[in-house]
Chain A
């Protein structure tokens, strides 16, 4: 178990800044997920922690030691790659023991570690097989096992589940979470899959263009996104954005747009907003309620499309050109092309400045 501290990290590829002035503190024993679209620099960041990419400037500490220029093997890390990266000519056992053998660990100790990792990952039966004789899920287990036998303080995962089919991905995701609980080790996990991020993370760091946009618990990142990028990146279907403005009226604050009106007097503004400020209201699909006959409506719109999901359904509304997704109960049957009323839970909305894109 070690903590990881990154200070003023700067990485360039042929003169282009991929990451600049990045600071990150990974607490000991936490499961940190780096989440972002492809090309946002999350893998680059992970590889620089591993020592596989030379940093241009800044400092990386692992477990209190400066490892900025240390060899990958001396950093006390284990790493799992997306493409498994198993040594194809070696058996599973040799794959697992490759690292410790190089490090000169005693034979009995190597056997103990291999057996322990194999037992944890249900690989005991497969120890004498070659990687080509394993299924995708088994291969990724071996890759995880290879990181385990290094008994490292920090485990790095580079999109480890992306090559697996949906069902296996779910299974292995749960195993990973279990593993983290069992080991209590520090884990840094790169993914572009928000479900993996939400389910696994103690904290999520959402990245864009080489910068960390927000780093917080999954609930906070999901519930109180700091800007419109983070708000739109998490959640499927993504958050609905409606443009309008804030207006002071009747001693309260209201969000007004051509299609709806929401009382946001209770909204926890970071700083008191000015009147008539152009604003974007963000609301998640599950916080809009359809009410065919209800009262206290925020607005009304035409039902344009329905996507049944089994347990629930996504109803798409057209509110005078603004498309809204609503997470509705599966039993509810809306009529297509008919006008329907909806209300918005004011406690769950997010407000962003139209210009700044930042949370108000």
Chain B
């Protein structure tokens, strides 16, 4: 945190004359052009969200009128309730709440495990002279660029032989594996910015591999851990394919359940329920970004540039 405070403070402490000069430039043509661009970009990206929101609040009769942008006349939260607790995902009609809790059970352990091992890898690669370390890192990075669809079949076979296929443990394992390259890169770059003398001092004080990791490096890594948590939470929450293939019938994540809700082919298409279910599903990543977006950007650049 202190690093962030330090980095933002210089502009605040800028000399007075500059501040006065800035105030004048509020409504120059260039400024107006900039605002016009920003506003139109914001409208462009917010429009779908607006349509989704108002559609989810309309009863079906209003939707049938086809007025896409009109505000609801009789706003109702019924579709949201329905989406959460009674919508049909295949044969079952218990809403997407089941998927919500499944996703939570997948996301929490996967995030913790992938960050832990990523941090451990980054730490080992940065500070300990591991034989073939550069080669190992190269292979890991190569893994980041292989499209994971290629690896699905071998992984299915592998997990099946160790009886992990279709279990919660299996999907957590898969997410941990696929999170490894990026997490390792993130932490390795962060630790590259830590002076090597700090590590040497800890070695002289008698710290071993694990003690230096847990008592010195992990407590120092809080900013980058925050970034990693955000990245992994949103990535794993948004995952569809891996969840569909590896999680098994009882652990299908929310994204898969959402797809089932929307693709139900019997009867009338409940657009309002679909919209509500979609918004419910994207609520967590949306919230994460809104709450911590600024932090996220800072962490990314801090990790990358300082490395």
Contacts and interface: CB of A to CB of B under 8 A. Distances in A.
B201 A85 contact: yes
Interface residues of A, number: 27
Contacts of A303: none
Interface stretch (B68-76, B141-149, B192-200, B288-296): B192-200
Interface in A120-134: 132
Nearest to B205: A99
19 contacts: A50-B200, A50-B204, A52-B200, A72-B203, A72-B204, A73-B203, A73-B207, A78-B204, A83-B195, A98-B205, A98-B207, A98-B215, A99-B204, A99-B205, A99-B206, A102-B211, A146-B205, A150-B205, A158-B197
B200 A103 contact: no
A87 interface: yes
Contacts of A71: 203
B139 interface: no
Contacts of A77: 204
Interface string B189-233: 000000101101111111100010001100110000000000000
A89 B225 CA distance: 15
Contacts of A78: 204
A101 to B, nearest CB: 9
A45 interface: no
Contacts of B207: 73, 98, 102
A229 interface: no
A79 interface: yes
Interchain residue pairs A-B with the least CB separation, the first 9: A73-B206, A99-B205, A85-B197, A89-B219, A85-B201, A102-B206, A81-B197, A72-B204, A85-B198
B206 A79 contact: no
B265 interface: no
Contacts, number: 62
A88 interface: yes
A52 B197 CA distance: 10
Interface residues of chain B: helix, strand, loop or mixed (majority): helix
Contact of A102 (B197, B201, B205, B220): B205
A103 B219 CA distance: 21
B62 to A, nearest CB: 57
Contacts of A72: 200, 203-204, 206
B25 interface: no
B219 A82 contact: no
B212 to A, nearest CB: 10
A98 B206 CA distance: 9
Contact of B216 (A50, A73, A87, A143): A87
A50 B198 CA distance: 14
Interface residues of chain A: helix, strand, loop or mixed (majority): mixed
Contacts of B202: 87, 98
Nearest to A75: B204
Contacts of A86: 198, 201
Interface string A62-93: 00000000011100011101110111110000
Contacts of B211: 102
Nearest to B6: A132
B200 A81 contact: yes
Given A88-B220, A102-B211, A52 B203 contact: yes
B198 to A, nearest CB: 5
A117 B159 CA distance: 57
B9 interface: no
A2 to B, nearest CB: 15
B92 to A, nearest CB: 49
Given A81-B200, A83-B195, A83-B197, A89 B220 contact: yes
A93 to B, nearest CB: 14
B204 A79 contact: yes
Nearest to A82: B197
B201 A146 contact: yes
A87 B202 CA distance: 8
A13 to B, nearest CB: 12
B47 to A, nearest CB: 46
Given A72-B200, A88-B220, 16 more contacts: A50-B200, A50-B204, A52-B200, A52-B203, A71-B203, A72-B206, A73-B203, A73-B207, A79-B200, A79-B201, A81-B201, A86-B198, A89-B220, A132-B2, A143-B201, A150-B205
A73 B220 CA distance: 23
